[in-house]
Amino acid sequence: MSDMMRAALDDGTGQYVVQDVPMPDMFEGAAMIKIRQTGICGSDLHMTTSRTEAQNLPSGHEVAGEIVEIPDGDHGLSAGDRVAIEMVGAGRACLTCRFCSYGQWKHCLNPAPDTGGGFAQYMTRRPAGLFKLPDSLDWVDGALVEPMAVSVHALRYGRMQPGDVVGVVGSATIGLSAIAAARAFGARTVVASARYSQQAEAAKKMGADVVVGSEPGEFEDACLEASNGIGADFVVESVGGFQSTSFQQAIQATRSQGTMLYLGGVKVPMEFDLFDPILREIRIQSAVCYSVIDGRHDYDVAIDLLATGDIPYREIVTHEVGLEDIQTGFDAAWDKTTGSIKVHVSI
C-alpha cells in the first residue's frame, strides 16, 4: 500500500483542492478502512464558511467503507467487511473512561487523535466504531446510516413516546431522518416544515402527515391544528445554522409539558424569552451524535430501520460526485435551486 492517498482539503477560502496527502496514522488499536461513500453534511457547509485557514486533515463524517486492516480482538469484524463508520465517538473512544463505561463514546475523556475523515481514500478508526452493513444495504445506504443515527439518537435520548404528535422544523437531511424515525417509533401524527419543494416532497415520502412552508406561524399553527389546539408533544428543531428563528418556532409549537429537542446546532448567540417555556414547563432538550441507549447503539437501530426497506431515505441523495469533483458537489449542496437535498461523494 502506498504511503500517500488522495484527499480533499479546504484551502481556507471555501474551495476544496484534491491533493496527495500522507496516509492516516495507524494509532494504537486502529483499523484501516478504504472509504467508498461520504455524504456532505450541512455542518460541513457551515464549517466551510467559518474556516479561515487551510485544512491539514480531511473532514467528512457520513462515511461507509471497507475494512482493509483490523487488529485482533473480540469485535466480530474481518478485513473485507463493509461497514458504516461511527467516527466521532466510538471510532476514537478509549473504551475505559467514565463515559465510555456506559456507551457514551461521544463524551470520551481520552479520545484517540483525529486522523482525518471521509473526504479521502482511507481513514483509521477503532473497531468499536465500525458497524457491519447487511448485504441489502449498498454504499449509498451505508453513508446514510450516520444522519439516520443522529435522529434515532435524538428521539430515543429525548424519550419520544408512541402516540406522540411530533413536529419537525426543517426538512433537510436531519429533518427528514427525524420524520422517518418518528414514524418508525410510533408517532400518531408528524408535522413538518420545508423551505424548498424537493424537501417538502421528501418529507411526505418519509412519512410526514402534514407539510407546511417556512413562513412565520405556519408550522406553529399546523402543530396546534394537529393536536386539538394544545401543541405538539415532541418537537425537533433540525435547522440551526446562523439564525435562531427556527429555535423559537419549535418552542412555540410545543405543548405545555412537552419536549422541544434541538438538533440543528445554532451557530450564533441568541436571545429568547425563557419566561413562556418555564410557565409552560417545556423540556428544552439537547442531543448530539449517538450512543448506547437501552442496551443498543443508535447505529444498530439506524441500520435496522434502513434494512427494512420501508423508509425511502436513499431517495434524498439527489447528487453524486467523485472525489476529484468534490467542489462540484459542495456547490450543488449549497445551491438548492439545483434540486439538491443530499450530495454524496463516491470514492
Yes or no: say if 144 and 314 are a contact pair by the CB < 8 Å rule. yes
Best CA proximity match to 185, nearest among 93, 291, 304, 81 = 304
Q: If DSSP codes are grouped into helix, strand and coil, which group holds residue 3?
A: coil
Within a domain: residue 154? no
Within a domain: residue 153? no
Q: pLDDT tens, position by position, for the chain (347 residues)?
A: 789 999 999 999 989 999 999 999 999 999 999 999 999 998 898 788 778 899 999 999 999 999 999 999 999 999 999 999 999 999 999 999 999 999 999 999 999 999 999 999 999 999 999 999 999 999 999 999 999 999 999 999 999 999 999 999 999 999 999 999 999 999 999 999 999 999 999 999 999 999 999 999 999 999 999 999 999 999 999 999 889 999 999 999 999 999 999 999 888 898 888 999 999 999 999 999 999 999 999 999 999 999 999 999 999 999 999 999 999 999 999 999 999 999 999 99
My answer on whether 74 and 112 are in the same domain is yes
The pLDDT of residue 49 is: 77
Query: Residue 231: which domain range?
Result: 159-286
Instruction: State which of 286, 312, 330 marks the end of a domain.
Output: 286
Phi, psi of 97 (to 5 degrees): -75, 180
The torsion of the CA quartet 203, 205, 210, 214, rounded to 10 degrees, works out to: 20
Contacts (Cβ under 8 Å, ≥6 apart) of 150: 174, 177, 263, 289, 290
Instruction: State which of 271, 286, 301 marks the end of a domain.
Output: 286
CATH number for 165: 3.40.50.720
My answer on whether 8 and 138 are in the same domain is yes
Within a domain: residue 185? yes
Largest CA distance in the chain: 63
- The cell numbers describing 226, all together, are 394537529
Contacts (Cβ under 8 Å, ≥6 apart) of 170: 192, 193, 194, 195, 237, 238, 239, 246, 264
CATH number for 36: 3.90.180.10
CA 51 from centre of chain: 21
My answer on whether 189 and 267 are in the same domain is yes
- Claim: this prediction has a pTM higher than 0.85: yes
My answer on whether 131 and 20 are in the same domain is yes
My answer on whether 216 and 102 are in the same domain is no
Within a domain: residue 261? yes
Instruction: State which of 238, 269, 286 marks the end of a domain.
Output: 286
- When divided into structural domains, the chain yields a total of 2
Best CA proximity match to 303, nearest among 173, 169, 131 = 131
My answer on whether 271 and 298 are in the same domain is no
My answer on whether 40 and 68 are in the same domain is yes
pLDDT in tens, 210-219: 999 999 999 9
